Structure 1
Amino acid sequence: MKKAFAITTFTLLLIAQWLVPGNMIYLQERAIIAGTPYKFRTQPIDPSDPFRGKYITLNYELRSFETKDTVNRNKDIYVYLEKDSLGFAKVSAISEKPLDLDNDFVMAKATGYYSGKQNFRLPFDRFYMEESKAYDAELAVRRTQFDSLPNNCYALVYVEGATAVLTDVLIDDISIKEFVEKE
């Protein structure tokens, strides 16, 4: 009896170890295939953290929404999106609870309320790259943001359901990977 219980428990744990990461991969791939692509304009990049690996840290212009409702810091909020005439993401509404809207949304963290605006942090603020290209990519993004007007650097994010997947960072509509190889 104990042996059957141990085998059953082991089998269930083995299945769970495959299902959990498999479901995470499925949701990410589904968002890329069936999701709506949004472009998020970036702002100058903070210095990178060498302990987290090679990546580009992204700050977004889209980080606040004018509202009278305040949300406490570090609370999860729903940020409902729509596209402007150029295809860039803009916020249509924010809420602590799900709203009955047809718009796509991302889950963000409230970072404070100031001057009638609720500030938030988007969850896709790191773009991982090949180790040898990450530093050059960060310099290219920083240079582009300071040297060119308008800002032609943006992140391409696919949103489907509650899943948001950052697939690329583009400079002048060229993938950051290709841009770094050209330079």
Structure 2
Amino acid sequence: MKTIYIFLMFLVVVVAQIFVPAQLIFDQNKVLSKGVPYKFKTQPVDPSDPFKGKYIRLNFEANTAPSKDSTWSFGTPIYVGLGTDSLGFAKVDAISRELVEDSNFIKAKVDWYDLQDKIVHFSFPFDTFYMNETKAYDAELAYFEAQRDSLPNNTYAVVYVLHGKAVLDNVFINHVPIAEYVKKK
């Protein structure tokens, strides 16, 4: 009888270990297939972390919003409503402390509040783009070279948003995915 309980417990653990990652993959695929794509202007930086590996850290231009509420503090959750500008890039339409019933929002975290300019700065949850370790450094160099181009808005990330969830799809330089751009160089 004891072996049956042990076997059942083993089955529960196995099912949980399969179900949890499968659910995470399913959720991301749902956002990618049904979400709204937004192009975020970026400024990638290439850090290296012995635990995370090589990746491109992305700084977004659309990471601030005006607010007369000066009580924003570090780490506070913030709901960021998104729209697009005349060039098709993401812009912040609104911010809120409360959940907004709109599929075009992202939950972010407050970094700081600028009392002088009355602006709240925040971080999006999709600020890292993982790459093949051998290409991350080349991608950083390609980014800096692209920034010297006379073309405005030539580096951006495509992020899909659905009901508050966001998935970073790819990073582009001159409308070419960064991995392909690095291969061409």
Specify if TM > 0.5: yes
Q: Which runs of 5+ in 2 are unaligned?
A: none
| Residue pair 2:31, 2:160 contacting (<8 A) in 1 also | yes
Q: Deviations over 1:22-81 (max 9, x none)?
A: 1100011111111111000012x4451242211111111111100122322112211111
Give a deviation string over 1:71-99, Cα, whole Å, max 9, x none: 22112211111112222111111122202
Instruction: Tell me which residue corresponds to 1:166.
Output: 168
Letter in 1 for 2:57: T
Q: Choose from 120, 141, 144 the match for 1:142.
A: 144
Aligned to 1:108: 108
The residue aligned with 2:87 is: 86
SS in 2 for 1:143: helix
Code of the residue aligned with 1:82 in structure 2: it is: G
Distance 2:153 2:89 in 1: 12
Q: Distance in 1 between matches of 2:150 and 2:132?
A: 26
Matched residue, 2:100: 99
**What residue number does 1:156 align with?**
158
Query: In structure 2, how many angstroms separate the alpha carbons of the residues matched to 1:13 and 1:93?
Result: 43
**Counterpart contact for 1:82–1:103, Cα < 8 Å:** no
CA contact 1:40–1:154 (8 Å) conserved in 2: yes
Alpha-carbon distance between aligned partners in 2 of 1:17 and 1:162, rounded to the nearest angstrom: 26
Against the structure 1 CA distance between its residues 155 and 131, is the aligned structure 2 distance closer, same or farther, given a 3 Å change threshold? Answer: same
CA contact (8 A) 2:46 2:140 kept: no
CA displacement at 1:143 relative to structure 2: 2.3
Q: CA deviation at 1:2?
A: 3.9
In structure 1, the residue matched to 2:178 is: 176
Give the counterpart of 1:130 among 123, 129, 132: 132
Measured after TM superposition, the shift of residue 103 of structure 1 is 4.5
In the alignment, what sits opposite 1:23?
23
Residue in 2 that maps onto 1:49: 48
Structure 1 consecutive aligned stretches of length 4 or more whose deviation exceeds 6 Å: none
Bigger mean CA offset, 114-123 vs 140-149: 140-149
Q: Which amino acid in 2 is paired with 1:26?
A: F
Distance 2:61 2:23 in 1: 32
SS where residue 53 of structure 2 aligns?
A: coil
Tell me the percent identity.
46
* Aligned residue type for 2:99: P
The letter of the residue matching 1:157 is: V
Amino acid at match of 1:32: L
TM norm structure 2: 0.89
Comparing 120-129 with 139-148, which one deviates more in the overlay? 139-148
| Compared CA separation, residues 39 and 163, structure 1 to 2 (3 A) | same
- Corresponding residue pairs, total: 181
Aligned residue in 2 for 1:117: 119
Residue by residue, what CA displacement relative to the aligned partner does 1:114-137 show, whole Å, maximum 9, x if unpaired? 021111011111111112211100
